Amino acid sequence: MSSLQRKIGGPALVQHLTSHDQLIDESILAKHGRSARTLSKEGPLRLTVIALAPNGFLPTHSAEGPVTIQVLEGGVTFTALDQEYPLATGDLLILAAGVQHSARSVEGVRFLLTVVHLPAAPAEHVEP
């Protein structure tokens, strides 16, 4: 796979993503049921294309910052806060910081995950 410019080298970065740029390692997808490719990593922002194979899943997890999931192709069901969110191509799901969620796909899916990593809160100073 070709290398991508993952950091913004100025005030803006435009990437014209070819289908090759969005490729997922099919051998990893077949072996593990999921695979990912980071498109951009700049400060607190991460953009990653994630693929789940048919009957693939992501176990329950959370992120410290807010996340968005935009389905590029296929279908997936995210579960968050005891509610299911079935998503199809073009759908967008936004989750607040810290929301635990999981995902499963019957047919297989590719989606764009955007995560904002919030800076760690400074430790509170406690007077003795």
Report all structural domains of the chain as residue ranges with CATH numbers, in order of start: 38-116 (2.60.120.10)
Question: pTM here?
Answer: 0.78
Max mean pLDDT among 35-49, 84-98, 111-125 falls in 84-98
Q: pLDDT tens digits for 69-82?
A: 999 999 999 999 99
Q: Could you give the CA distance from residue 33 to residue 10 in angstroms, rounded to a whole number?
A: 37
Rounded to whole angstroms, how far apart are CA atoms 72 and 66?
A: 19
Q: Mark residue 31 as left, alpha or beta (left: phi above 0; alpha: psi -120 to 50; beta: remaining).
A: alpha
pLDDT in tens, 60-70: 999 989 999 99
User: What distances in angstroms separate CA 16 from CA 57, 102, 113, one per listed residue?
Assistant: 29, 30, 18
